[in-house]
Amino acid sequence: MAFDTFSSKIQMALRRVSGKGRLTEKDIEGMLKEIRLSLLEADVNLNVVKHFSAKIKEEALGAHILKGLNPSQQVIKVVKDNLTEMLGGKETPFTPDTKQTRIILSGLQGSGKTTSASKLASYIRKHHEKKPLLVALDVYRPAAIDQLKTLGASLDIPVFEEGTDAKPETIAKHALSYAKEHALDTLIFDTAGRLHIDEAMIDEIKTIHQVVNPTHAFLVLDAMTGQDAVNVAKHFHDHLSLTGAILTKFDGDTRGGAALSLRHVTEVPILFMGVGEKTTDLEAFYPERIAERILGMGDVLTLVDKVSENVSEADMMNMMEKMTSGHYNFDDFYKQLKMIKRMGSLGGLMKLIPGMNKMMNNADVDESRLSSIESLIQSMTKAERKDPSLIKKSANRRRRVARGSGRSVADLNRLITSFDQQLMMVKRMGSMDPSQMAKNPGAMMPKQKIKKGKGKNRGGFRF
């Protein structure tokens, strides 16, 4: 995920002040030095770094903080508030037009406009109940039209195109008429990729803007391009008056410089971020939630959103009832895995839980294990899935299931252990106070048994 490296370094910088009952100016300076270095390594604009560190220094050295009862927590809050401000402050929600929404996507070649167009269409249809139309205006790359048609077909969203011979502005004009005839209230125009130094292409998109008169003009930026993305945004904004930006490849190993610099340098808000390759992998950009993720505070609201979008309340209640009543079996476990896979990567979901981020730094989350677990459960008989004790009691059954799934008996034993631990965790959660769970997620985990040696001094070694 984006910001992983930056996140770990800024958290390390904050450890300089965390837990201290009294702070000095030297403590603040030491923390700020590390924060500045982490920002520069993340490829954040130099002016942004200077502005950010100056504001934190000014606020953190205030008498009410240094002489306060809990100065370290107040300093961390100052960093979080300023980080939120750097990312854009308050969320800028996307609001479709009541009559007809016309969105033009522009950006550099290879920034992910065509994929983003399909993701945006899917998002608007799902969250705003609109009827979108994808319009193919990239007449210079033949594969772009085919790609958009394929993506549109997979989503059952119509695509308007007139091949590579027509002019983009003509296609755009015809698309407006087509949308009116077919009662389609949202048009998303996928324009050709261009270089910010290519004035002819910039002039072309200006003409398209004049024909379409868009309600929204979005710039699609590759989050991996770092600080250069900000220069690109500034150039496009000067010519096209952008209303927002979409950051693609946000799930990659990006340094985060584009997201951290964009709003401050260009005043263009980030509205969406692409978090995967699927057409559903587009999320609204919430500055405060991202700031909390960077600082290792988790993101419970995004986790709740993901769960509510992919799992019905009835399914959740039914699952919890089964787990607490002791009727939970491998069929239910399999359904739960399907729900998790719909919500995204397991590692990404774990990092949204407060406090879990620190635990994840030392844990290796193997996404392929989900597929391994699925194949093991599918290799069981109906009776074995409904009654887990049959597998636990019989070594022959375990060998047969392992052979049938192409996995080892050790893999199956790990699945059984995970299954039992999950039941234990639910029982522990039922007896814990919610505030205690938020402060210490590790307390929900079942305690590991300590194994002792045999014979004299048997307590001398443990593993």
What average pLDDT score do residues 72-88 get?
Answer: 87
Residue 44 lies in a domain: yes
Task: Examine the domain organization and report whether 280 and 164 are in the same domain.
Answer: yes
Strand-strand pairing, 282-284 and 270-274 = antiparallel
pLDDT in tens, 206-253: 999 999 999 999 999 888 777 777 888 888 888 888 999 999 988 766
Structure tokens at 290: 């991202």
What average pLDDT score do residues 103-132 get?
Answer: 92
CATH number at residue 401: 1.10.260.30
Specify the pLDDT at position 350. 62
Task: Examine the domain organization and report whether 10 and 57 are in the same domain.
Answer: yes
pLDDT in tens, 10-53: 888 888 777 777 778 888 888 899 999 988 888 888 888 999 99
Residue 306 lies in a domain: yes
What average pLDDT score do residues 71-95 get?
Answer: 86
What does the mean pLDDT of the chain come to?
Answer: 81
**pLDDT at 461 > cutoff 50:** no
Task: Examine the domain organization and report whether 355 and 256 are in the same domain.
Answer: no
More confident residue, 450 or 276: 276
Distance CA 125, CA 104 (A): 17
**pLDDT at 450 > cutoff 70:** no
More confident residue, 312 or 450: 312
What average pLDDT score do residues 267-272 get?
Answer: 91
- Any idea which residue has 């100056």 for tokens? 54
Residue 57 lies in a domain: yes
More confident residue, 289 or 445: 289
Task: Examine the domain organization and report whether 129 and 13 are in the same domain.
Answer: no
- Which residue, 86, 117, 142, sits at the end of a domain? 86
More confident residue, 389 or 428: 389
Q: How confident is the model at residue 4 (pLDDT cuts 50, 70, 90)?
A: confident
Task: Examine the domain organization and report whether 156 and 255 are in the same domain.
Answer: yes
Residue 182 lies in a domain: yes
Specify the pLDDT at position 297. 73
**pLDDT at 462 > cutoff 80:** no
The highest-confidence range among 39-53, 290-304, 313-327, 331-345, by mean pLDDT, is 39-53
Q: How confident is the model at residue 170 (pLDDT cuts 50, 70, 90)?
A: very high
- Which residue, 255, 290, 325, sits at the end of a domain? 290
Task: Give, rounded to a whole angstrom, the gap between the first and last alpha carbons of the chain.
Answer: 33
pLDDT in tens, 337-387: 887 777 766 656 666 665 555 544 444 455 667 788 889 999 999 999 999
CATH number at residue 133: 3.40.50.300
Q: How many domains does the chain have?
A: 3
Q: Exposed, middle or buried: residue 416 (CB in 10 Å: 0-12, 13-18, 19+)? A: middle
Residue 204 lies in a domain: yes
Which amino acid is located at 400 in the chain?
R
Task: Examine the domain organization and report whether 348 and 385 are in the same domain.
Answer: yes
Q: How confident is the model at residue 438 (pLDDT cuts 50, 70, 90)?
A: very low
pLDDT in tens, 129-155: 999 999 999 998 878 999 999 999 999
Task: Examine the domain organization and report whether 270 and 322 are in the same domain.
Answer: no
- Which residue, 290, 325, 350, sits at the end of a domain? 290
Task: Examine the domain organization and report whether 259 and 367 are in the same domain.
Answer: no
CATH number at residue 63: 1.20.120.140
Distance CA 463, CA 452 (A): 8
406: containing domain: 302-444
Task: Examine the domain organization and report whether 394 and 324 are in the same domain.
Answer: yes
Task: Examine the domain organization and report whether 186 and 285 are in the same domain.
Answer: yes
**pLDDT at 70 > cutoff 90:** no
Q: Which of 64-78, 191-205, 331-345, 445-459 has the lowest mean pLDDT?
A: 445-459
Q: Which of 277-291, 321-335, 381-395 has the lowest mean pLDDT?
A: 321-335
Residue 341 lies in a domain: yes
Specify the pLDDT at position 102. 96
What DSSP character marks residue 368?
Answer: H
Specify the pLDDT at position 225. 75
Q: Would you mind telling me the total number of residues written for the chain in this entry?
A: 463
Q: How confident is the model at residue 177 (pLDDT cuts 50, 70, 90)?
A: very high
SS3 assignment, position 106: strand
What average pLDDT score do residues 64-81 get?
Answer: 76
The highest-confidence range among 171-185, 296-310, 438-452, by mean pLDDT, is 171-185
- 36-49 burial, b if ≥16 CB within 10 A, otherwise e? bebbeebbbbeebb
Residue 315 lies in a domain: yes
Q: What percent of the chain has pLDDT over 70?
A: 78
Task: Examine the domain organization and report whether 285 and 309 are in the same domain.
Answer: no
Q: Whole-prediction pTM value?
A: 0.72
Task: Examine the domain organization and report whether 277 and 342 are in the same domain.
Answer: no
Residue 274 lies in a domain: yes
